[in-house]
Structures are given as C-alpha cells and as structure tokens.
Amino acid sequence: MKKSGIVIFMLLASVFSIAFAKDFDLGSVDLNFCNTQNQLHIKADAGTQTGFCMMFNNISNTTGMIKVAIVDGEMSVGENPVKACKTTTEGYFPKFATFSGMATGNIIVLPPNTGIVQRWNVDIPTGFIGMLNGCITYVMYNSGSEASGMFQIVNRKANIIDVVVSGAYVNKFGFMNMKTFSWEDWKLDPSKVILSQTTPILITQLQDKNTLVIGLENTGFIDENYVISWTVYNSLFGRKVYNKTFTIGSGSLYGQDKVVIEHLLDELPFYKGKYYISVDVSHTPVVISGMKLDTKPVNMSQTLSITVYPDMYTIMVVVWLIVLVCCIIVLVTILKKSQKKKA
C-alpha cells in the first residue's frame, strides 16, 4: 500500500512538474548589470579602457540561447523623450565595446535555472569626448532558422548604459586625401580633372565650365562646424589685376564623416589665363554640454594655380575685336595716304 502511494505521488509530481514547467522565452531571461540595476552610468577617460559586466539569469526549466547585440542609444522623439536603442549596430558604442567573456559569436547559452556573468571591454580612443550612449539588446536565438530583422527588433529586450568620457579636444578635421577619392560615389569623371589628384583641391572641367571641388573629412569623434571661402586673383607684371573673395558656404561635419563640395567658377572675368586660387576653411568643434572644449576657430588653407582657357564664345569675340581693330587701322592708314596724295 505504501509502495503504491509512493508511485502515485511520483506520478502526480511528474505530471505537475510537466504542467507547470516554464518554456524558455524572452520573459525567461532576467538581465541586469552587475550592480543589480537594469541601467548603468559610469565615467571614463579618453584613451583608456573601461568595462562592465552583466548577469544573465535563466529562470525557466529549459536551456535557452539568446543572441546579444551592442547598439548605440538615442533619445526618442516627442513631447516627453526617453532613452531608446537604435536598430542597427552602426555607431560609436558597437565599435568601442568588445566581448571579454564566454560568449561565442554573440551567442550565449543559458542552462535552466542558472545564471552566468558576461563581461565587456570598452576601449575609448583618444579624442572622444562627451556622452557615449549604448544598449545591450538580446533576442531569442534558434540555430536552425533566425527570424527576420523586423521581428527581432520588435521582439527584443534591452538594457541601457551611459559612459561619460572626459578628455582633451584633438583636431582631426582636414582636407580629404584625393588619392583615395571615390569618383563613382561623387559622380565625377577623372578624365575631366585638370589638376593632380595629389592636391587636396581639384578643378574639373565639364562643358567649358570649371568647377572647384573640395573634399573635407572629420576623422575625429567631435562634430565640427565649418565655413569655406576662397579668393581668386591673377597677376600682370607683378600686380593683381583681378582679386575677389567668395563665400562658398558653411555646414556641420559629423565625427568619422566626410563631405565633397563643388563650386562653379563662373564668376571669372572674360579674359582668361593663369589664376591663383586660395581656399580657406575655418572650423570649430560643436560645444558638448558639460565638457570644456577649445572652441576657438581653427583655420586651414590651400593655394593652387590654374590656367583657365577661354571658351569658344570668348575666342570668337576676341578674334572679331582684333579683326575690327585691324580693319580700323587699315582704314585710317588708307585715308591718311589718300589725304597726302590730294595735298
């Protein structure tokens, strides 16, 4: 009787354990930073390595696998903005943070009713200043087939981390190296370039029009505001005959970004020849709240010379003027000779 009772109890226990066993899903993962909070706020210095760790707890009775991603954080748009996570791995935080634990290929295996600790290293480069916002996101992982990107974005969880980075401003703003200039990206024909690619400034010629092409790049991590102007002049017997300054424009260039600016040289005088062009760029770092930056404008300039050949219209006008002057001279000479004969 006792044996049958024990058997019945074991059967009922197994039935109840099966009935109430929790399958693994996103709700089965209890994820916190090692300070037991779901958000982390730390301080670091530029050019140093810092780190953080997270605790992954599987509260289900089933072994599960999750895929972890590191993305940038951002503020949502609206009347009451809140911190959110970007949907792609593009940004600063994914470049700086690397795994330093047991995960392989961003996949973490979680045994049932077990917790593991995962650590990340954050290598902050010299020149980065300000707030580094990041998110640790994770989704369900199935080695057989993965869900689509949109499904993963909707069905994911995230923890937010903020790193306040202190350091000194490093100037990484300059002219783009035209040796690595991508002609296809900017729709320019290299056969139309009439200056060497080794110069930071190009002049292209298309349909009898000369265009100034300037490439700017910001290899640092601080956004920069810039203003571009250029002076064009020519000289005759050591004296400047034509001298004029133009403002090309202004704008902002994000960190780790580049821009190509084209300006049509259509304001030159009708007479052509050798011109000197000086391009001046003034840039200042964008002020970061709570950070001390040297916001004095930094100036850089490049000067080049170019021989601008006249177009067909100008050539015809000049030729007709020369012919007209010659005709007048000939006519005046003939009239003078005729008057002398009459005298």
- Which H, E and C letters describe 11-60, residue by residue? HHHHHHHHHCCCCCCHHHEEEEECCCCCEEEEEEECCCEEEEEEEEEECC
Predicted TM-score (pTM) above 0.75:
no
Give the residue carrying structure tokens 């059967």: 11
Q: Element (H or E) spanning 322, and its range?
A: helix 312-342
Q: For residue range 75-131, what is the model confidence (pLDDT) as tens digits?
A: 887 788 888 898 888 889 999 998 887 666 788 899 999 999 999 999 999 989 988
| HSE-CB for 254 with a 13 A CA cutoff | 4
Greatest mean pLDDT range, 10-19, 202-211, 271-280: 271-280
Q: Which CATH superfamily is domain 21-166 in?
A: Immunoglobulins (2.60.40.10)
CATH of the structural domain 173-309, one choice from 1.10.3720.10, 2.60.40.10, 1.10.760.10, 1.10.10.10: 2.60.40.10
Sign of the CA dihedral 93, 160, 31, 25?
negative
- CA dist 314 and 340 (Å) reads 39
Residue 270 near residue 314, CB atoms below 8 Å: yes
- CA dist 65 and 58 (Å) reads 10
Where are the strands (E) in the chain, listed by range?
Answer: 29-33, 39-45, 49-58, 64-75, 83-85, 97-99, 107-110, 114-123, 130-140, 157-166, 173-175, 201-206, 209-218, 224-236, 239-253, 257-264, 273-285, 298-308
Give the residue carrying structure tokens 């087939």: 145
Average pLDDT over residues 274-283: 87
- CA dist 332 and 323 (Å) reads 14
Higher-pLDDT residue of 68, 317: 68
Q: What is the mean pLDDT of the chain?
A: 79
Residue 115 near residue 58, CB atoms below 8 Å: yes
Average pLDDT over residues 311-335: 82
